[in-house]
């Protein structure tokens, strides 16, 4: 069996993929930027030629949404051009390239969940560079783009951890944005879905997020409730939060295609969050 190659393997999704693939007995090779910088075209070609993976899942990305606004050229090299290096290497060795993308490719207008064939119109640099990554991935003869959203996973720096840090520091009151709606998604559940999609031969674009949707305020309130601490969670607007990068107001992804391909959708985000917090307490 040709191995699975995971790039960005120390990130939230990379770690989850290594763990899930390990449990499934899939031979897996993981590399992060210190051993494979995906912007280095010749290093990518050499590594893929030596590992000869059957599947490459690219989890490497410049994910700091606000920093992308200031450093768009750097973000484009990592989130866009480097995906082309992986696609070309995958093409040369006959591997499937799985590129992980984002709800931020959409404008956030409207109130119907975004389908895979809806026209992307990113608002900011992160979304623009990730959309370029989707285009670059399509250079690989065999490719799958999995769009996900609001990811949280063990060992990651994510929204859930940011809220818990403030709760644990004894902050009595948190102000959280209540006018952006999306789909919180557990990295472990996404990793399972990605490997299932690969197993079933999925190609093209697939949306994969935990079921249900909420606002950042709704997510923070549920975190606080599960933590069992008396913290007041106050709703604020995006404008009041004053973050540098624009963000889609309505980023809910339609998972009908995922459901058809897998015969199941991912569990509700509330269930995923409860499992994440239990695992965090146990570790």
Ligand X SMILES: NC(=O)c1ccc[n+]([C@@H]2O[C@H](COP(=O)([O-])OP(=O)(O)OC[C@H]3O[C@@H](n4cnc5c(N)ncnc54)[C@H](OP(=O)(O)O)[C@@H]3O)[C@@H](O)[C@H]2O)c1
Quick check: 78 and 44 in contact, CB under 8 A? Answer: no
- Tokens 């959309």 map to which residue? 131
- Smallest gap from Cβ 77 to ligand X, in A, equals 8
Secondary-structure breakdown of the chain: helix, strand, coil percentages, each rounded to the nearest 5: 45, 20, 35
The C-alpha atoms of residue 250 and residue 247 are separated, in whole angstroms, by 9
Judged by beta carbon, residue 49 or residue 232, the one nearer ligand X is: 49
- Could you count the other beta carbons within 10 Å of the beta carbon of residue 66? 13
Which tokens hold the place of 164?
A: 């818990």
Q: Which residues bind ligand X (CB under 6 A)?
A: 7-8, 10-14, 32-33, 36-39, 59-63, 78, 100, 102, 130, 148-151, 156
Closer residue to ligand X in complex, CB, 14/108: 14
Per DSSP, the chain holds a count of helices (H) and strands (E) of 12, 14
Dihedral sign for Cα 218, 62, 191, 34, please: negative
Encoded tokens for 160 = 């859930």
CB of 58 to ligand X, least distance (A): 7
Residue 34 has a CB neighbour count (10 Å cut-off) of: 7
What would you report as the CA-atom Rg of the chain, rounded to the nearest whole angstrom? 18
Please identify the residue of the shown chain whose CB is closest to the bound ligand X. 11
162 vs 229 by CB, closer to ligand X: 162
Alpha-carbon distance values, 60 to 96, 177, 239 (Å): 16, 27, 30
Please report how close the Cβ of residue 18 comes to ligand X at its closest, in angstroms: 12
Which residues belong to the active site?
126
- Is 131 or 178 the residue whose CB approaches ligand X more closely? 131
In whole angstroms, how close is the CB of 2 to ligand X at the nearest point?
21
- Which is closer to ligand X, CB of 39 or CB of 229? 39
What does residue 94 show for φ and ψ, rounded to 5 degrees? 75, 25
């Amino acid at each position: 069996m040709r191995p699975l190659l995971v790039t960005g393997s120390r990130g939230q999704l990379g770690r989850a993929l290594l763990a899930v693939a390990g449990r499934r007995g899939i031979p897996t090779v993981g590399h992060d930027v210190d051993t494979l910088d995906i912007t280095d075209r010749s290093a990518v070609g050499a590594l893929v030629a030596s590992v000869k993976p059957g599947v490459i899942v690219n989890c490497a990305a410049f994910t700091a949404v606000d920093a992308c606004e200031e450093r768009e050229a750097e973000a484009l090299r990592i989130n866009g051009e480097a995906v082309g290096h992986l696609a070309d290497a995958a093409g040369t060795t006959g591997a499937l390239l799985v590129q992980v993308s984002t709800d931020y490719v959409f404008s956030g207008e409207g109130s119907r969940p975004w389908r895979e064939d809806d026209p992307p119109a990113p608002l900011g640099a992160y979304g623009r560079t990730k959309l370029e990554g989707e285009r670059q991935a399509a250079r690989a003869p065999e490719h799958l783009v999995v769009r996900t959203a609001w990811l949280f996973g063990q060992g990651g720096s994510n929204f859930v951890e940011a809220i818990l840090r403030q709760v644990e520091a004894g902050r009595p009151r948190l102000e959280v944005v209540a006018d952006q709606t999306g789909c919180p998604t557990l990295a472990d559940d996404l990793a399972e879905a990605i490997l299932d999609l690969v197993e079933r031969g999925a190609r093209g674009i697939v949306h994969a997020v935990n079921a249900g949707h909420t606002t950042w305020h709704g997510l923070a309130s549920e975190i606080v409730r599960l933590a069992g601490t008396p913290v007041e969670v106050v709703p604020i607007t995006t404008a009041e939060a004053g973050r540098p990068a624009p963000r889609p107001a309505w980023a809910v992804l339609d998972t009908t295609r995922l459901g058809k391909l897998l015969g199941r959708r991912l569990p509700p985000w509330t269930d995923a969050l409860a499992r994440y917090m239990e695992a965090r307490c146990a570790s």
